[in-house]
A = this chain, B = another copy of it.
Amino acid sequence: MNTTVKQHAVALLRQKRLRVTAPRVAVIAAILQSDSPLTQQQIAAQLGDQSPNKTTIYRTLLSLINADVVHRAFVQQRQWHFELAHHCSPIQCHPHFTCIRCHRTECLHDVSYPLVDLPKGMTMYRQQIRIEGICSACSA
């Protein structure tokens, strides 16, 4: 595992005043190194035999979500996919594009779009956009 990535993970934990433990560093590092949201299983798979117990991954993700380090991005095949929150504004994350052919999901970091104009009385905490379609690789 990349040392710089680990240091980044440790810094994130310190910043949020969470205890720095090996499982937490590993989970954050796994997510940091992925360019698309990961399931708990995928995190475990990426960490291989170094992986913490699945319950630990589960609870680590809960802590990280609670501290706003990680977001639940979307559900696919009954599994939540997690990603770092560091690219998201307080109320809006980037859209996620899922290809219905190859089932891969991409984060659209570079597209812009407005916030929905909510009816009077409602307060927005977060807006998420999910897109399904055919990715460029699959439409070739």
- A53 CA to B131 CA in the complex, in Å? 33
User: Is there contact, CB below 8 Å, between A123 and B129?
Assistant: no
Against B, the Cβ 8 Å flags (1 = close, 0 = not) of A44-83 are 0000000000000000000000000000000100100000
Integer count of this chain's copies in the complex: 2
Task: Output the nearest chain B residue to A74 by Cβ-Cβ distance.
Answer: B75
Say which size band chain A's interface belongs to: 20 to 34
A136 within 8 A of B: yes
A5 within 8 A of B: no
- A123 CA to B140 CA in the complex, in Å? 11
User: Is there contact, CB below 8 Å, between A133 and B126?
Assistant: yes
**Hey, which chain B residues are within 8 Å of A19, CB to CB?**
none
User: Is there contact, CB below 8 Å, between B116 and A114?
Assistant: no
Known: A126-B132, A126-B133, A129-B127. A139 touches B113 (CB 8 A): no
Known: A116-B129, A128-B130, A129-B127. A121 touches B95 (CB 8 A): no
